[in-house]
Amino acid sequence: MTQRIFYSYSHVDSDLRAKLGTYLAPLVHQKKIEEWHDRKIEAGQDWNSEISAALKSADIILLLVSADFLASQYCFGVEVDEALARLNRGEARVVPILLKPCLWEESRFSALQHVPRDGKPVSSWASCDDALREVAKEIRDLVSRAELQVHTTAASKEAPDQLSHNLDLMRRQVFAYARQYEMTRQRMAASAERTHRMEQIFQRMRSIAVSSYPLLGELSNSHAPGERLAAVAILQIFADEQSLEFLVRLIASEKPFVGYQAAVALKAAVETIDPRAYPQLLDSILDAQSADEKARLGFDTDRLRTLREAERDLRATMNALATSTPDASEP
């Protein structure tokens, strides 16, 4: 399946856009990609509607980032807005390509994996050709993964008894979200905006929890905070008594955002865990409260309030269950 590629760029960078197109030409010849940029708009066509239509139908959106790109109200506003909206809906992949030195870290797409991967803009390389070749290789690999996903989906339809997803692809998706979280936490100062972005990333993790469930053990034992957060996203959907200790550890030691989500997972377990595990769950909730109170010197926190609510709900459920269960000594 041919992948439609949309170039979002400043006309000041037209030469670099064209040169990148030269490196991607083999993929065009093989019909693996179909490129679109505004130079393809013909005389007499409506400029705005043509760009909008191409942007909304693209499979991969390339943001050619430079100071001029960031200064362009149309590129940084209209095109980036639509690109990120389609990314959030799972309709397209968005790849920032660092063309020239600029304050790209302050952009709304700073959490996305950029290329070149070392963060060195194309124009800063000793050889521009070497840089563009690396960029082209990244795009080639992205296209190849998209092809594999299409083939995997087609195969699953032909063989309904097989899993409908490829675990390796899912692992890559989870790791990508994990990196987005870590980059957001590291590069943005603590603020409501940073929390909002981390929440968006976490919701994406939750949205794939069903497919990523087989990775729970791997993610729980990871040294990367973003991957541990992905495990929490799974545990908010699927309660697992074997993972209760893991959640308690996160509440005691992780950053506030991860600790809070772990507390939410314990609260969610009240409704979803096997009733036979209620005593174990209650012990975990109490241990988590104790750990949080000790770490926070007794100050109230969102996670502590969540844990208290979880304890209240669980005790009420356990009491109701005990009341409704007939005494074994009764005739």
202 and 319 co-located in one domain: yes
11 and 154 co-located in one domain: yes
Last residue of a domain, one of 158, 193, 222: 158
38 and 112 co-located in one domain: yes
Query: Which residues constitute the domain of residue 290?
Result: 174-324
238 and 202 co-located in one domain: yes
Residue range 230-237: mean pLDDT, rounded: 94
Is the pLDDT confidence value at 325 over 60? no
What pLDDT shows up at residue 152? 47
Last residue of a domain, one of 126, 158, 190: 158
Q: Does residue 329 fall inside a structural domain?
A: no
Is the pLDDT confidence value at 156 over 80? no
Percent residues over pLDDT 90 in the chain = 57
Q: Grade residue 296 by pLDDT with cuts at 50, 70 and 90.
A: low
| Average pLDDT over all residues of the chain | 86
Is the pLDDT confidence value at 183 over 70? yes
Q: Does residue 113 fall inside a structural domain?
A: yes
206 and 270 co-located in one domain: yes
Residue range 216-241: mean pLDDT, rounded: 92
227 and 87 co-located in one domain: no
Q: What is the CATH number of the domain that holds 273?
A: 1.25.10
Is the pLDDT confidence value at 326 over 70? no
Q: What is the CATH number of the domain that holds 112?
A: 3.40.50.10140
Please check whether residue 226 is in contact with residue 257, taking contact to mean a CB–CB distance below 8 angstroms.
no
Instruction: For Cα atoms 307, 309, 312, give the angle at the middle one, nearest 5 degrees.
Output: 110
Q: Does residue 169 fall inside a structural domain?
A: no
What pLDDT shows up at residue 166? 65
199 and 142 co-located in one domain: no
Is the pLDDT confidence value at 206 over 50? yes
Is the pLDDT confidence value at 127 over 80? yes
66 and 207 co-located in one domain: no
Element housing 138 (H / E): helix 128-158
Residue range 43-56: mean pLDDT, rounded: 93
144 and 220 co-located in one domain: no
Kindly report the three-state secondary structure assignment for every residue of 70-85: HHCHHHHHHHHHHHHH
179 and 311 co-located in one domain: yes
What pLDDT shows up at residue 300? 52
Maximum distance among all Cα pairs of the chain, rounded to whole angstroms: 91
| Tally of structural domains, the chain | 2
What pLDDT shows up at residue 270? 86
How many of the other CB atoms lie within 10 Å of CB of 226? 25
Is the pLDDT confidence value at 292 over 60? yes
Is the pLDDT confidence value at 323 over 80? no
Counts of helices then strands in the chain (DSSP H, E): 15, 4
Please check whether residue 41 is in contact with residue 47, taking contact to mean a CB–CB distance below 8 angstroms.
yes
Q: Grade residue 294 by pLDDT with cuts at 50, 70 and 90.
A: confident
Least Cα distance to 281 among 269, 264, 292, 268 occurs for: 269
Residue range 4-8: mean pLDDT, rounded: 97
Is the pLDDT confidence value at 246 over 70? yes
Residue range 60-65: mean pLDDT, rounded: 96
What are the strands, taking DSSP E only, across the chain? 3-8, 33-36, 60-65, 93-98
178 and 33 co-located in one domain: no
pLDDT digits (tens, 9 = 90+) for 86-119: 988 888 899 999 999 999 988 888 878 789 988 8
pTM: 0.50
Please check whether residue 134 is in contact with residue 98, taking contact to mean a CB–CB distance below 8 angstroms.
no
Is the pLDDT confidence value at 35 over 80? yes
In whole angstroms, what is the distance from residue 103 CA to residue 306 CA? 39
Q: Token digits for 217?
A: 């053990």
198 and 259 co-located in one domain: yes
- Selected residue with higher pLDDT from 13 and 157: 13
Last residue of a domain, one of 158, 189, 223: 158
